[in-house]
C-alpha cells in the first residue's frame, strides 16, 4: 500500500482531499501533516519568503523520512516554495493545482479561476502561465476573488461558502473551463456544476488522479 503524505497549511483543506481519496483511491496510506501557522504567516507576507520556503522544504523532508512514496501539498499559496522543495527529494512532490491546471488547459483557451484566499491569487496566475508555456498552449486565465467565502468555511458554514462560490460561477460566460482554486473550494463543486454548463475542475480530484498515475507507474 503506497504512503502519500498530505501536507496542509489549514484545517479546511483536510476534508476535501480525504473524501476524494476515499472515493478514488481508497487503498492508499494517507498521512496528514498539518502545520496551520503557515497560512496566517503567508497572509502577512507580500510574497513567499526564504523562511517560508525553508519551512516547506523541511516538511517535505519530514514526509520523506516517514517513508512516503509521494507528497501532495494542499495549500495553493506556496507554489515557488513547493517547487524548490520538490527539487531536493527523489519522490514526486505535487503542488495543489498543477494537475487541475493541466486538465483545464487541455479543455480550452479561456479559463476562469474562482479563488477565496487573496494571498494565493497572483502566485496561482503565474503558475498557470508557466504551465501553459510548458504545454505550449496559448490558454489564458482570468481570476475572480469570491469575497467572504473563506471566512464562512473557516467557521464551519459550508452552505454560505458554497452559495457564494456558485453565485460567482453563475455570472461567468464565454469560458472553456472553470477552476476552483483551492482544496477548500472543492466542497462547492456540485453546487457550481448545477449553475453552469462550463466544465468545472477541482484540485483534489485532478491531484489524486495524477498522484495515482505517478506512484503506480513509478512502482513498475
Per-residue pLDDT at 103: 93
The angle formed by the CA atoms of residues 54, 14 and 97, to the nearest 5 degrees, is 65
Across the chain, what does the average pLDDT equal? 94
pLDDT in tens, 159-194: 999 999 999 999 999 999 999 999 899 999 999 999
| Greater model confidence, 120 or 52 | 52
What proportion of the chain, given as a percentage, has pLDDT over 90? 88
pLDDT for res 77: 86
Q: Binning pLDDT at 50, 70 and 90, where does residue 204 land?
A: very high
d(CA 176, CA 183) in angstroms, rounded, equals: 21
Confidence band (pLDDT; 50, 70, 90) for 143? very high
pLDDT in tens, 37-95: 999 999 899 899 999 999 999 999 999 999 999 999 998 889 899 999 999 999 999 99
Q: Which of the four pLDDT bands, split at 50, 70 and 90, describes residue 119?
A: confident
Q: What is the mean pLDDT of residues 104-120?
A: 92
| Beta pairing, strands 140-145 & 93-94 | unpaired
The domains found in the chain, sorted by start residue, are 3-96+205-219 (3.40.50.1860), 98-202 (3.40.50.1860)
Q: What is the largest CA-CA distance in the chain?
A: 47
Question: H helices of the chain, where?
Answer: 14-24, 38-44, 50-65, 79-86, 98-107, 121-134, 149-154, 158-170, 189-195, 203-219
* 197: exposed, middle or buried (Cβ count in 10 Å: 0-12, 13-18, 19+): exposed
Buried b or exposed e, range 92-120, using 16+ CB within 10 angstroms: bbbbbbbbbbbbbbebeebbbbbbbbebb
| Residue range 133-157: mean pLDDT, rounded | 96
pLDDT of residue 189: 95
> What's the whole-number mean pLDDT along residues 101-123?
92
What's the number of CA atoms in the CB half-sphere (13 Å) around residue 101?
A: 26
**pLDDT at site 54:** 98
Q: Mean pLDDT over residues 110-122, rounded? A: 92
The whole-number pLDDT of residue 60 equals 98
Inter-residue contact 56 to 28 (CB < 8 Å): no
pLDDT of 219 reads: 55
Average confidence (pLDDT) over 127-141 = 95
The pLDDT, as a whole number, for residue 216 is 85
pLDDT of residue 220: 45
Amino acid at each position: 500500500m503506497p504512503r502519500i503524505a498530505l501536507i496542509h497549511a489549514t484545517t479546511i483543506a483536510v476534508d476535501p482531499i480525504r473524501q476524494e481519496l476515499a472515493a478514488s483511491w481508497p487503498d492508499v496510506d494517507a498521512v496528514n501533516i498539518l502545520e496551520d501557522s503557515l497560512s496566517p504567516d503567508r497572509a502577512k507576507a507580500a510574497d513567499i519568503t526564504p523562511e517560508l520556503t525553508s519551512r516547506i522544504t523541511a516538511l517535505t523532508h519530514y514526509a520523506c523520512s516517514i517513508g512516503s512514496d509521494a507528497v501532495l501539498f494542499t495549500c495553493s499559496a506556496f507554489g515557488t516554495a513547493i517547487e524548490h522543495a520538490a527539487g531536493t527529494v527523489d519522490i514526486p512532490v505535487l503542488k495543489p493545482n498543477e494537475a487541475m491546471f493541466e486538465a483545464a488547459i487541455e479543455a480550452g483557451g479561456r479559463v476562469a479561476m474562482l479563488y477565496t484566499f487573496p494571498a494565493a491569487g497572483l502566485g496561482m496566475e503565474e503558475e498557470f502561465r508557466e504551465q501553459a508555456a510548458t504545454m505550449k498552449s496559448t490558454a489564458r486565465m482570468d481570476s475572480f476573488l469570491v469575497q467572504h467565502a473563506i471566512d464562512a468555511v473557516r467557521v464551519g458554514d459550508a452552505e454560505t461558502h458554497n452559495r457564494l462560490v456558485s453565485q460567482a460561477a453563475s455570472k461567468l460566460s464565454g469560458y472553456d473551463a472553470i477552476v476552483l482554486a483551492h482544496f477548500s473550494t472543492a466542497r462547492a463543486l456540485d453546487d457550481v456544476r448545477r449553475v453552469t454548463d462550463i466544465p468545472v475542475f477541482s484540485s483534489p480530484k485532478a491531484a489524486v488522479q495524477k498522484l495515482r498515475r505517478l506512484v503506480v507507474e513509478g512502482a513498475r
